[in-house]
Amino acid sequence: MRPNPNRGRVYRRCGCRDNTGKQIGAGCPKLASSRHGTWTFAVDRPNADNMRKTLRRGGFATKIQASEALSKVLECERAGVHLNDAETVAQYLTSWLDAKAPNLRTNTVLRYRAYINQDLIPAIGAVRLEQLTHEHVRQFISNQLTAGRGRVTLARCITTLSSALNDAVKQRRLSYSPARYAGLPRPARRNLTCWTTRQAEGFLRTCHRIDDPLADLFELMICTGMRKGEMLGLHWDDVDLDNRVLFVRHTLVSINNSRSMLSEPKTEGSRAWVALSQRAVEALRRQRQRKTTDPDGLVFTTKDRRPLRPQYVLDRFRQLTAEAALPRIRVHDLRHLAATIMLSAGVPIAMVSKTLRHKNLATTVDIYGHLTQEVAQAAVDATAAALDNVAKKAA
């Protein structure tokens, strides 16, 4: 039998006690005065074990307020929304991350936990989950921007909150997500800084001239477009030089800049094979001959065959960049460099996307779309030149 959607009662009660210290409640004679006591509602709610459980909430100044609160409880019940108005945002976010953690990468869990404990809970943690509104989120964003918080970091923080609240909607804890229309200003788009092909070749020439231990690592990044973590997590068992292919099965991540660990690739699409050019094969063969490689383990290691620290790779990359007198870029920009060289050489963007192992073509277009304009211009110019040549011969 379905519960009566109009059940529940609203009444007035106070905190007065009798001589034994027991609360008098609704039976207090002083309630005859409209100024005494507050309004309360009570309603029996269905339970998973079929046991009756009464929900009571009091402290309302008027009967109308208590009735509206009761109506909201019944409305949520009819909509299938789980209402636990005693749980705070802090409690929900903490339990949400605990449940989510087993399916997330270690770095992602640490980042989410930092946003929750250091930013979200101090600002809105005391608010009851069901009472969280768009205004709370908007005020949080405004306060953070006023305090000089970086927009990129703030956007990631709001994304964490949005993910948690979206799950609350899916679980019918909330009817909508207060963070959905947060109105967060978009971070300024970072302009990709890439070397030219000539500069890239000059950098590699400098690395090989001094026989730097990381020379072949950087060359392989440029030749394949692989991510730094994927390169540092590459094992010899994942490399097939005869067939000129390697497989991305691990990535090395830094935990709080203090320790490193092997993890799964960034996305499902990242777990794929990567074609190797002859130049990349030669780089790997040179690396095979180095004493700093582990023939049964990682391709790139320290002298004592331990995993390279990402920070060390970055520091050494900057030193080599300065020695080559080149503009300062990030190690990750070598991936962008690989894409730029491919697109500038006329490689179709669909093939570039496949080579970079992006989740979809839209990601590649979003990042490198400005380069395809140059390729498109060259394509239409070639078409026009071909037509002009035919016209000249016919004249």
At residue 23, the pLDDT reads: 85
- 25-53 pLDDT tens trace: 778 888 888 888 888 988 887 766 667 78
CB under 8 Å to 263, separation ≥6 — which residues?
105, 106, 107, 229, 233, 250, 251, 252, 253
More confident residue, 267 or 17: 17
Take residue 375 and report the two structure tokens written for it. 């390729």
What's the pLDDT score for residue 50?
Answer: 67
Q: What is the pLDDT of residue 127?
A: 93
CA distance 294 to 316: 21
pLDDT value, residue 372: 55
* pLDDT for residue 269: 60
* Amino acid 196: pLDDT: 85
Please give the torsion angle defined by the CA atoms of residues 153, 159, 160 and 165, in that order, rounded to the nearest 10 degrees.
150
Q: 26 near 13, Cβ under 8 Å?
A: yes
CB-CB contact of 56 with 88 (8 Å): no
Q: How far apart are CA 191 and CA 200, in angstroms?
A: 19
d(CA 302, CA 305): 5
Tens of pLDDT along 327-367?
A: 999 999 998 888 888 887 878 888 888 888 888 878 777 77
Cβ-count burial 148-164 (b if 16+ within 10 Å, e if not): eeeeeebbebbebbbeb
Residue 207: count of CB within 10 angstroms of its CB: 22
Longest dimension (CA), the chain: 118
Q: What is the DSSP letter of 296?
A: T
Per the CB < 8 A criterion, the answer to whether 266 and 107 are in contact is no
Residues 374-386 have a mean pLDDT of 70
Question: Tokens 């309603």 identify what position?
Answer: 43
Look at residue 257 and tell me whether its pLDDT is greater than 80.
no
Confidence class of residue 59 from pLDDT cuts 50, 70 and 90?
confident
- The residue behind tokens 């991540």 is 253
- Matching residue, tokens 């100024």: 35
Q: What is the pLDDT of residue 81?
A: 66
Alpha helices in the chain (DSSP H): 63-79, 89-100, 106-115, 121-124, 134-146, 151-170, 197-209, 215-224, 228-232, 278-289, 310-323, 333-344, 349-356, 361-394
The per-residue pLDDT for 8 is 87
> What's the confidence (pLDDT) of residue 266?
64
pLDDT at 341: 86
Residue type, 375: V
Which of 217-226, 289-298, 362-371, 383-392 ranks highest by mean pLDDT? 217-226
pLDDT at 259: 74
Paired with 41 in beta bridges are 10, 57
DSSP 269: G
User: Residue 148 region, left (φ>0) first, then alpha (ψ -120 to 50), else beta?
Assistant: left
Cα(85)–Cα(203) distance, integer angstroms? 61
User: CA distances (Å), 292 to each of 211, 213, 236, 267, in order?
Assistant: 13, 8, 13, 29
Rounded to 10 degrees, the C-alpha dihedral 163/168/170/172 comes to -170
Q: Rounded mean pLDDT of 213-217?
A: 94
Take residue 299 and report the two structure tokens written for it. Answer: 């391709």
Residues 68-123: tens digit of each pLDDT: 888 888 887 777 766 677 789 999 999 999 999 998 888 889 899 999 999 999 99
Q: How confident is the model at residue 5 (pLDDT cuts 50, 70, 90)?
A: low
What gap in Å lies between CA 88 and CA 86, rounded to an integer? Answer: 6
Q: Which residue has the higher pLDDT, 373 or 1?
A: 373
For residues 136-162, average pLDDT = 91
Identify the pLDDT of residue 374: 58
Three-point CA angle 123, 125, 126, nearest 5°: 105
Average pLDDT of every residue of the chain: 85
What is the C-alpha end-to-end distance of the chain, expressed in Å? 91
Q: What is the DSSP string of 370-395?
A: HHHHHHHHHHHHHHHHHHHHHHHHH-
Candidate from 133-147, 315-329, 342-356 with smallest mean pLDDT: 342-356
Domains, the chain: 9-79 (no CATH), 89-171 (1.10.150.130), 197-373 (1.10.443.10)
Report the DSSP beta bridge partners of residue 274.
246
How high is the pLDDT of residue 187? 66
What pLDDT score does 369 carry?
65
Proportion of the chain above pLDDT 90, given as a percent: 37
Please compute the mean of the pLDDT values over residues 309-314 and round it to a whole number: 92
CA 146 to chain centre: 24
- In degrees, rounded to 5, the angle at the alpha carbon of residue 162 between the alpha carbons of residues 144 and 99 is 115
Per-residue pLDDT band for 2 (boundaries 50, 70, 90) equals: low
Note the pLDDT of residue 116: 95
At 392, the pLDDT band (50, 70, 90 cuts) reads: confident
